[in-house]
Structure formats: C-alpha cells, structure tokens
Structure 1
Amino acid sequence: MSGLLKSAKSIVPLLDRVLVQRVKAEAKTASGLYLPEKNVEKLNQGKVLAVGPGFTDANGNKVTPQVKVGDNVLIPQYGGSAIKLAGDEEVILFRDSEILAKINPDV
C-alpha cells in the first residue's frame, strides 16, 4: 500500500467520526488579482463527505451524528485528524461533537 490514499471515498469513518473537506478560499480577489497559494487563508467551513454510524452510550442509548453527507459545516480552526490524499488534497476527520455548527444555505 502506498503512503497516500487515492480518494476520500476509500475512508469509512467509525463511531461518531465525520470526514470533512475544508472549503478553499478564493485565490482571486474581487478586482481580479490572483493571490499566491500561501496567502490564501484557510476557511473554517467544510463539506461533510462521510459520516460514521454513531455509537451506544453507557446507558445503552444509540447516539448518532448530527450531520449528514453533503452538509456544509463550521469547523474549528485546529483539531481533527488531517489525512493527506493523492493529488495534494487533504481531508479532516473530526468527532461529531467537534463540529461547531451546520451552515444553512437557505438563510
């Protein structure tokens, strides 16, 4: 097996883990100037790619993640487990409780 995974589809989160791809900021300004990649800030927004099935707590209650595949979410600046993919892509694995909020596109 090579050191890099080929795609995010090969990652299946366990328990209450959520696989998120960070939304990239625009590399072009409103006036049309292109910014160098190192100057493009990372946004605290991401798209949910995969969600684990949840877990059973100490009282026997099923706890399922509060997000689903396709949700746009607000993620913390730090934390999670970054996973490098082929093609210089990166995804992040968070626990459901680390996701800060869902972003409602309708508002």
Structure 2
Amino acid sequence: MSQTLAKLYPLANRVVIKRAESAARSQGGIVLPENVKSKLLRGTVVAVGPGHVNNEGERIPLSVQVGDNVILPDYGGTKLEIGEQKDLYVFREPDILAKITE
C-alpha cells in the first residue's frame, strides 16, 4: 500500500475498494463474453470508515475489514484517483453485495 493510501480514512459507513480485473477466461479455459465479465466484479477492501451512528448515538461497526475480498454491484461507487492508484472506488457498506471467504 502506498503512503497516500495509508493516510486515506473514509467517513461513516464508507469503504474504499480496489477493484480486481475481470477474468477474460473461466477456470476451465472458456472465453467469457463482455456481458458476463461485467457481472463478476470483485475487489479488495483497502480502507474502512468507523461505522454508522444510530439514533441512540451508538456507533455500529462495519462488517468488512481491510483486506477482505468482496463482490460489488455492476454500477455504483465513486471513482478515486490518488497518485498512481486509478482503480479505487468508494462504496457505502450496504452497497457491497457479499464478502468472499476462502
């Protein structure tokens, strides 16, 4: 992680994600068409905010942590360009579809 990314601290329930490249081939070697590749959006969490504050003033922590692999929606997120990092996006935690555990 670069020095600039180490200083990046999202607010509330926002998460900074580095998108992974979509695979052009499946594990079996089948070439995937463009419409299928766009549906296989994955990323790695590089920074997380402190969490959402509920009506009682209690902070609710996020369910993802730095280093988690996640599945993302086709659209959404705000693109960031910080230094040489051009594939970073900011999502709200509820917009993340799933966390991948291996």
TM range (shorter): 0.7 to 0.9
Structure 1 residues 87, 58: CA separation in 2 closer, same or farther (over 3 Å shift)? same
Match of 1:19 in 2: 16
Counting aligned pairs with the same residue, the percent is 36
Output aligned runs, 1:53-92, within 5 Å: 53-87=50-84, 89-92=86-89
Displacement of 1:89: 2.0
If the length of structure 1 is used for normalisation, what is the TM-score?
Answer: 0.71
Larger-gyration structure (1/2): 1
Aligned residues: 93
Instruction: Work out which of the residue numbers 91, 94, 100 in structure 2 matches 1:94.
Output: 91
Q: Which has the higher strand share?
A: 2
Structure 2, unmatched stretches of 5+, are 30-36
Displacement of 1:104: 1.2
If the length of structure 2 is used for normalisation, what is the TM-score?
Answer: 0.74
1-structure distance, mates of 2:71, 2:50: 21
